[in-house]
Structure 1
Amino acid sequence: MAVFTTVSHDEIAQWLLDYDLGTLRALRGIPSGIENSNFFVTMERDGQTRDYVLTIFERLRFDQLPYYLHLMAHLAERGIRVPAPMPGKDGEILRTLKGKPATIVTRLPGSSQLAPNAQQCAEVGDMLARMHLAGRGYPRQQPNLRSLAWWRETEGQILPFLDDSQRALLQDELAFQSAFFGGAAYAALPGGPCHCDLFRDNVLFEDAGNGQSRLGGFFDFYFAGDDKWLFDLAVTVNDWCIDLASGELDAPRATALLRAYHAVRPLDAIEAAHWQHMLRAGALRFWVSRLWDYHLPREADMLEPHDPTHFERILRRRIATTALPWT
C-alpha cells in the first residue's frame, strides 16, 4: 500500500463531499505494500470521529473492481470481519479520484502480528474457513488474476534476471504446476471466492486485555478471485506458519491453523492428496510476483519491494520436504 498517487488534504475533502461521512479531520499515507495508493482518513460527524481507509487503484481497472468491493460487502453482511465499502450519496461504492478508480472503506481495529503464535494462527484458520463458506452464493465471478496464466506470462520478463539454478527451478516448477492445474484432480478440488493474499500484514489483531489478543479482521482483498480453497489455505500457511530464516513449516503453528480450518470446513481426501502441490503453487505464485516487483519496479513514494529470495527458499523447501498433515 505504497503511495503512487499523491493527493492533498483539500483534494480529499472535496472528493468526500460525495459521501455522508462528515468532515475530514486527518489524512495520512500508508507506507506498506506495493500495489495501490492508500490513506488513513479520519472523519468527524456529530462530534464523533471515525477512521476509514481510502484506496486509489493503480493497476486494477474500473471493470475489475466491482468483484472485489462487492465481495467485501457480501462477506461483511455475513458476519466476516472485513472492511465494508462505504456508499456515496448516490449509493455507489466506486468513484474516480485524480482520474483513477477509488473507494473508501471502514478501518478495522488492531494491528498486524508479524510474529504470530499458535493461538493466533488458529483464529486465522477458523475465520478463513468461515470466509470461504460465506463466499458461497456470491454472484459475481472473476478468476484469480495472479494464477497460472499470469505466472507463464511473467516468466519471460523475469528469466533474464535469474542465474542458472533459479532459471531451472522456475521452469521446472512451472511445468509441474501446468500439469497439475490441467489434470482431473485439480478440476475436482472445491473452490469459490478466495482472498489469495492472506499474509500476516493483511490481518489485524486487537488487544483483548490480560496480554491476550483477538482477531480484528482480514483486509486488502484486491488480489481476491475465484480459486481453489486449498490454494488460499496454502498461501496462508506459507506465510503464517513458517520459520522465516529457513522457510520450513513450523509444526505447532501449522497444526493449529489447519485443525481450526478443518473444524469449520472439513478438507476431503482429494485435498489431502494434493496439499503439498498447493503449498508449492502458493510459493511459486509469490516468488514470481516478488521477482517481477523487484526487478521491474514502478516509481512510488515509500515503495519498498520485498526480497524475492524469501519465496525462492520456501519453494525449494516445499519441493524437498513432505508437507504436514492437518489431522
Structure 2
Amino acid sequence: MAVFTSVSLDDLGPWMTQFPLGKALAIKGIASGIENSNFFITTEAGEYVLTIFENLDFEQLPFYLKLMRHLADRGVLVPAPIANAQGELVVALHGKPAAIVSKLDGSSQMAPQPQHCAGVGTMLARMHIAARDFSIQQPNLRGLDWWRVTAPVVLPFLSDSNQQLLRDEMQYQEAFASSAEYAAFPRGPVHADLFRNNVMFDGERLTGFFDFYFAGCDTWLFDVAVTVNDWCIDLDSGALDLTRVDAMLQAYQAVRPFSDEEHRGWQAMLRAAALRFWLSRLYDYHLPRDAEMLTPHDPGHFERILRLRTTIAAPELP
C-alpha cells in the first residue's frame, strides 16, 4: 500500500521484541494501493508483512484479523496474523494500530488466464462457506451508506455526463437495495476487494488471498461481482472476457451454487461493484491524502466499466 507512515529498521527493532519472530533484519515499503502503510519485513524467523492502518481504528481491526485466522483454520489460503506475547493481534506503532501477518508464497498474476480465474472462483466460494459461522458482525464499510455520503462530495468534480451517470446509478442501486429480491441474497463476510494484486499464484497454483482490510458483511454475489469486474475483463476497455467469466463462475458454482434470486440480480451486482470502485477512485483522485508513496488509480477505468455494465447484458450465472 502507499506509505503514509514511515518506519525505519531502527523504529522496528524495539517494537519487534514483543513478537516471537526474533530480531528484525530488514524492512521495505510496498508502493501499491492507497489505504494503509504496508511493509515487507525480514526477521530471524522469516518473511512477514507489517501493516499500519491509516483509517481503521483499534475497535474495528479485530474483525479483519480474527476473520483471517478463522479462515486459515478452515483451510482457506490467507495470511495468518501473528500475536504478540500478550496474545494481541493489533499493537500500536507510531501511535497507530499495526499488525504483522505471514507472507504468502508466489506472486500476483496480472495477466490471468481461465485456469487462474477458475482457481479464484473455487477459493472465493470456499471462503464464503468457511466464514458463515464467523461470530463477529461488521458491515461493508464501503457499501451503500458510504456511497450515499461520498457521491455528493465527488459530484462537483465531474463532467455533466458523469454527474448524470452517478445520479442515475445511485437511484438505481437505492431502488434495488430496497427490493425483496436483494433482501433474499445469501450473505456473510466478504473480501470486497479481491483484485488481481490481492491474490498470489505459484504458476497456476493459487497460494492465497490477502489484504482483507475492506472486508465486511455483505452479499456474497457482490463479492463475486467485484472479483469478476477485475479478473475477467479487458483492462483497456473494461469489457468482460466471456471465457474467463465462465471459468470463474463455473468454478464458484461447483462449490456454492447460486440462488434463483442471485441469477436475477447478477447484472445489478456487477453495476454495484463498478459503482463502488468508481466512487472510491474519484474520491482518492480529487481529494488525495499526503503519502510518501502514493499513486491514485485512474477513476476513468471504473467509469468505463460502469457504463458497459449499464448498457450491455452480462452473461447469465451458471
Q: Structure 1: which 4+ aligned runs deviate by more than 2 Å? A: none
Q: 1:65 aligns with which of 38, 61, 67?
A: 61
1:193 aligns with 2:184: no
Q: Secondary structure at the match of 1:18?
A: coil
Q: Secondary structure at the match of 1:274?
A: helix
Note the C-alpha offset of 1:246.
1.5
Q: 1:289 aligns with which of 280, 283, 286?
A: 280
Letter in 2 for 1:268: S
Checking the alignment, whether the CA contact within 8 Å between 2:125 and 2:252 is kept in structure 1 is yes
Q: 1:79 aligns with which of 75, 82, 91?
A: 75
Note the C-alpha offset of 1:260.
0.1
Q: Secondary structure at the match of 2:304?
A: helix
Letter in 2 for 1:120: H
Give the alignment's TM-score, normalised by structure 2. Answer: 0.99
Q: Secondary structure at the match of 1:316?
A: helix
Give runs of aligned pairs for residues 88-99 of structure 1, distance below 5 A. 88-99=84-95
- CA distances 1:147-177 after superposition (whole Å, capped 9, x unpaired): 1110110011101110100000000000000
Letter in 1 for 2:155: L
Letter in 1 for 2:304: R
Letter in 2 for 1:73: R
- CA distances 1:250-289 after superposition (whole Å, capped 9, x unpaired): 0100000000000000001110000000000000000000
Task: Tell me which residue corresponds to 1:222.
Answer: 213
Give runs of aligned pairs for residues 37-48 of structure 1, distance below 5 A. 37-45=37-45
Task: Tell me which residue corresponds to 2:150.
Answer: 154
1:256 aligns with 2:252: no
Task: Tell me which residue corresponds to 2:317.
Answer: 326
Q: 1:309 aligns with which of 283, 300, 314?
A: 300
Partners of 2:167 and 2:279 lie apart in 1 by 11
Task: Quote the RMSD (CA, aligned, Å).
Answer: 0.7
Note the C-alpha offset of 1:306.
0.2
Note the C-alpha offset of 1:78.
0.5
Unaligned 5+ segments in structure 1 are: 208-212
1:124 aligns with 2:120: yes
Note the C-alpha offset of 1:326.
3.0
Task: Tell me which residue corresponds to 1:36.
Answer: 36
Partners of 1:90 and 1:120 lie apart in 2 by 40
Letter in 2 for 1:3: V
Task: Tell me which residue corresponds to 1:11.
Answer: 11
- CA distances 1:178-210 after superposition (whole Å, capped 9, x unpaired): 010111111110010000000001001013xxx
Task: Tell me which residue corresponds to 1:279.
Answer: 270
Among the aligned pairs, what percent are the same residue? 61
Partners of 1:223 and 1:163 lie apart in 2 by 29
Partners of 2:259 and 2:55 lie apart in 1 by 36
Letter in 2 for 1:32: S
Note the C-alpha offset of 1:300.
0.5
Task: Tell me which residue corresponds to 1:113.
Answer: 109
Q: Secondary structure at the match of 2:24?
A: strand
Letter in 2 for 1:126: T
Task: Tell me which residue corresponds to 1:210.
Answer: none
Unaligned 5+ segments in structure 2 are: none
